[in-house]
Amino acid sequence: MTVPASAQAHQAERAQLAAATALAVRAVWQGVDPEQLETSWAARAPLAAELIGRGQLTAAASAEPWLVAELGEGEGSVAPLAAAAATGDLAPVLLAPLLVSLNRIRRGFARTLSILSGAALLEMVTRTLIADAGRIADMAGMIARPRVVSYVRVVEAPACARCIVLAGREYSFAEGFLRHPRCDCTMAARRPGDTWVPDLPEDLAAQMTEVQLQKAFGQDAAAAIADGADIAQVVNARRGMSTGTYYGRRVRTTSEGTTRRGLYGRQRAQFAKAAGVRFGEVTGGRARAVSPRLMPEEIYRLADGDRAHAIRLLRKNGYIV
């Protein structure tokens, strides 16, 4: 059993609201006079603020009806205005696209393209603000219901790699909701005795097309996942990515997971112990494996079309267990 259907519908409605509001706000921005950017945006910004505020209130107001239907009454009702206000002042948000556009114009970019850059930024921030107001209201409403002990991240496919790797994770209310700009993930309440099982990263990846996977992870990382690599290992590897010279050639490696606590590090430590050789060297106060851990794209470059060899390298580098 997956996340309750009501939680999935709630997530989809929020995403649609954020997208629709962002498009409306972008249309307001695109009505500026290219030759009088500052004065024309000053005249139009109040309408953009009204649209964003209305979207935030709608998102926050949807929390209480959903929670009542799903969990019953709480020890108080969510205050949509407070949830919207908690996302911060809108003035800097509305100033940002103007500053970005003016900066690009001063640097010699075409005026039309500079204005489009401002539009893209405004759309991204709008979607984030709508989603944030809704998530704040959701969490407040869950906390007001004592039987809710935690929340589970709800991710809808297709999604970005950063969100896919967090799909299905359970968090306490002391932990903040990890999100990035334009993130439309939401949460589902968890109570003692709940038996539903959320979609995990592997489940979401299975729902995505090859094109969607390549867009989310990159071509070689998507190939590695298709060949059985662990999604978390593939995504997290990018955090410590670097390029170095090993065995006479330049290769892309990662320091992620190379300590004894990491999957690759544990494998190398076991190998070193069995072979009676030194495990690693101390870097930043922590011992890391001497053998470089290759990035998935480097593995496929070295395999040069030999899938069996690629799988051996994926296993050797801790992407397949």
Return all residues near 307 (Cβ < 8 A) that are at least 6 apart. 227
70-74, 266-270, 315-319: which is most confident: 70-74
Q: What pLDDT is recorded for position 307?
A: 86
Q: What is the pLDDT of residues 35-57, one digit of tens each?
A: 999 999 999 999 999 999 999 99
Query: pLDDT class for 282, splitting at 50, 70, 90?
Result: very low
Q: What pLDDT is recorded for position 302?
A: 87
Whether the pLDDT of residue 27 is over 60: the answer is yes
> Does 296 or 69 have the greater pLDDT score?
69
Q: From the CB of residue 257, how many other CB atoms can be counted at a distance below 10 Å?
A: 25
User: Of 79-83, 88-92, 159-163, 294-298, which range is least confident?
Assistant: 294-298
User: Of 28-42, 53-67, 141-155, which range is least confident?
Assistant: 141-155
pTM: 0.77
Q: What pLDDT is recorded for position 36?
A: 95
> Does 268 or 105 have the greater pLDDT score?
105
Whether the pLDDT of residue 191 is over 60: the answer is yes
Whether the pLDDT of residue 150 is over 50: the answer is yes
Rg (CA), the chain: 24
Q: What is the pLDDT of residues 82-94, one digit of tens each?
A: 999 999 999 999 9
Return all residues near 64 (Cβ < 8 A) that are at least 6 apart. 77, 78, 137, 141
Q: What pLDDT is recorded for position 1?
A: 45
Query: pLDDT class for 10, splitting at 50, 70, 90?
Result: very high
Whether the pLDDT of residue 288 is over 70: the answer is no
Average pLDDT, the chain: 87
Q: What pLDDT is recorded for position 275?
A: 58
Q: Please state the three-class secondary structure of 178-202 as a single string.
A: CCCCCCCCEEEEECCCCCCCCCCHH
Answer yes or no: are the C-beta atoms of 70 and 189 closer than 8 Å. yes
Whether the pLDDT of residue 277 is over 70: the answer is no
Return the DSSP state at 197: -
Amino acid at 201: P
Question: Can you name the residues that pair with 171 across neighbouring β-strands?
Answer: 151
Whether the pLDDT of residue 211 is over 60: the answer is yes
Whether the pLDDT of residue 110 is over 80: the answer is yes
46-60, 193-207, 245-259, 307-321: which is most confident: 46-60
> Does 310 or 277 have the greater pLDDT score?
310
Bond prior to 158 in cis (omega within 30° of 0): yes
Answer yes or no: are the C-beta atoms of 96 and 125 closer than 8 Å. yes
